[in-house]
Amino acid sequence: MPEAFDPATLLATLPDAPGVYRMLGAADEVLYVGKAKNLKKRVSSYFQKTAKSPRIGLMLTQVRRVDITATRSEAEALILENTLIKRLAPKYNILFRDDKSYPYIVLTGDACPRLAFHRGSFARDARYFGPYPNSLAVREAIQLLQKIFQLRTCENAVFAHRSRPCLLYQIKRCTAPCVGLISAEDYAADVRNAEMFLRGQHGEVIDRLTAAMQQAADALRFEEATQLRDQVRALQAVLHRQYVSTTDEENVDILAGLSSGGMFCVNLAMVRGGQHLGDCAHFPRGTACSVEGEEAEALLAFVEQHYLAHPAPARLILGHDIGHACAAVFEAAGVKVVAGPPRNERERAWLTMAENNARLALEARHHAAGSARARLEALAEVLDCGELPGRIECFDISHTQGEGTVASCVVCIDGSMKKSEYRRFNIGGIQPGDDYAAMRQALLRRYEKVAAGEAVAPDLIIIDGGKGQLGVAREALAELGLQHLASIGVAKGESRKPGLETLLLGDALESLQLAASHPALHLIQEVRDEAHRFAIFGHRARRDKARRRSRLEDVPGVGAERRRRLLASFGGLQGVMAATVEDLCRVEGIGRALAQKIHDELH
């Protein structure tokens, strides 16, 4: 250890209490955050003469100070550690991005419950099933349930105003409760069967449907019996499609952690109600060096971070022997979870699948990383710069004949798009259709914090446009004192055909056309197309919002109820605009003063 740091002095003052410790470097940057059941024992273990992993050994050479925060319990320490890791992103912590919400299937609490995709907070009167590893798994499940149980999926606003069945009824994906083509009792029975199926009670659902089918056949209701028979067959086909399934109604997560070539992957597979729903790969970020050889530690870090943000199932199947450590984590969090290695052949099959998928995810990540680096190296060669452009930002403008102008800024870091860094700017105060002014405003708003030293500067700025847009962009950067930032323009080729783009480089805006197969052009096209997509999406949302907005909303004193009465009385906004002040006064709740105000506002 450096002479500036004396661990003996620190260890003499540490309490025998639970808490969190933070190891800091020479510039007071947080290098590592950890939790401890006993601070004195845990922190002192770092400074004993025992073999340490390369990552921890490298970290200890940089430690200059250790700060501690004592807590009342190990559970509090666990939560505080997780919060600090996510907020500070310490260099030597294994940090996973597990803050996304997983999708669920929901049966709403309406009189005629709706089957729907759900992500976010839960409502009290609804029933939720999941979580599912991804949205595709949810949508596939909903399609199957529609085919078997024919529950409604439409929004309440649509359901309440139907006067005839929709297309889903015609293709036998809904029983049309909106227009009363199924009784409330029969629809409720379908909902119960769907709920039982989602809870994993497949046998009971099939038995109930089979009994109902036999009862209908005995009563000579052969059409009804045929429909029930088709439901039973569809359910059995769904169960046969499950490549790994069990008759037990169990909820299990399978966690496999593998490392390769300096990368580590945790593959999380989910079993709900005995059915394997699929899996998803998680990669740590912010680690200072490879975690290869530290798979168990990294897997435990994932468990600590992931299950503080997401509900844990009753059982975890683990690919490493960290069951006791996981049990301590869940005990500290007040959750009862059984964690350990697979116990039978079926669980071993699940774990083998998870490990194989982790291996495939690592191979894909390695391939993507190699391809990304090759494209960055090709771009650096084209730009004749000494270093790879690690952070690229691209701007585009979108509008419809000047309406709803939106500028987009997308970010590519180390060859990969980073959606969390994307920004949109609603452009205002310019002449409609003036793309130059829109580009200028977007860059000034984006880089004013960079100029103030409050945000990171890009290595390369790409402007989707020709010499005019790039010239305005460089003027905006010069105004902010950022003229040193590299920038290029991408002018669309003949007929806007991909591969014919012209790059504008250097102070003289020299033109360069790369071969359609050039890897640098592929990278530029990917970033440019993403900026274009992001701008169009934002523009359409802004334009549609403006078109849905009634001019009556801008009139003070006219709330939702008065707007409804006015539109109903005159058949729409055009009728209101054509009405005189006297006509407006005849509407309930509209006095002469307010009528005059409405008339003046609309004319």
Give the chain's domains with CATH numbers: 7-93 (3.40.1440.10), 104-241 (no CATH), 252-365 (3.30.420.340), 391-540 (3.30.420.340), 551-602 (1.10.150.20)
Axis-axis angle for helices 222-241, 202-218 (nearest 10)? 160
**Bridge partners for 318 per DSSP:** 255
Is there a contact between 100 and 170 (Cβ–Cβ < 8 Å)? no
Residue at 161: amino acid letter:
H
- H/E element, 307: helix 295-309
Is there a contact between 173 and 154 (Cβ–Cβ < 8 Å)? no
Please state, in angstroms and rounded to a whole number, the distance separating the CA atoms of residues 497 and 453.
40
Q: What are phi and psi of 593, to 5 degrees?
A: -60, -45
Residue 174 CB-density burial (10 A; 0-12 exposed, 13-18 middle, 19+ buried): buried
3-state secondary structure of 30: strand
Return the pLDDT at 246: 47
- Torsion from C-alpha of 498, 499, 501, 506, nearest 10 degrees: 140
Distance of CA 80 to the CA centre of its chain: 24
- DSSP 8-state code for residue 37: S
- DSSP 8-state code for residue 362: H
With a cut of 50, list the residues of the chain below it in pLDDT.
1-2, 240-247, 288-289
CB atoms within 10 A of CB 465: 22
Return the pLDDT at 243: 40
For residue range 250-264, list pLDDT tens digits in order. Answer: 789 999 998 887 788
Return the pLDDT at 245: 45
Maximum Cα–Cα distance for the chain, whole Å?
93
Please state, in angstroms and rounded to a whole number, the distance separating the CA atoms of residues 518 and 523.
9
CA angle 16, 331, 42 (to 5 degrees): 30
> For 310-387, where are the alpha helices, taking DSSP H only?
323-333, 345-383
DSSP H helix total and E strand total for the chain:
20, 21
Q: Which residues contact 534 (CB under 8 A, 6 or more apart)?
A: 396, 408, 410, 422, 424
Return the pLDDT at 242: 47
Picking from 308, 300, 293, the residue whose alpha carbon sits closest to that of residue 266 is 300
- DSSP 8-state code for residue 342: -
Across the beta sheet with 65-70, the strand order is 30-36, 19-24, 65-70
For residue range 289-317, list pLDDT tens digits in order. Answer: 455 567 888 898 888 888 877 888 889 99
Would strands 403-413 and 423-426 be described as parallel, antiparallel, or unpaired? antiparallel
CB atoms within 10 A of CB 56: 15
Please state, in angstroms and rounded to a whole number, the distance separating the CA atoms of residues 361 and 187.
43
Please state, in angstroms and rounded to a whole number, the distance separating the CA atoms of residues 212 and 204.
12
Return the pLDDT at 424: 94
Return the pLDDT at 241: 45
Return the pLDDT at 247: 45
CB atoms within 10 A of CB 227: 16
What six digits make up the tokens of 92? 């030597």
Return the pLDDT at 474: 93
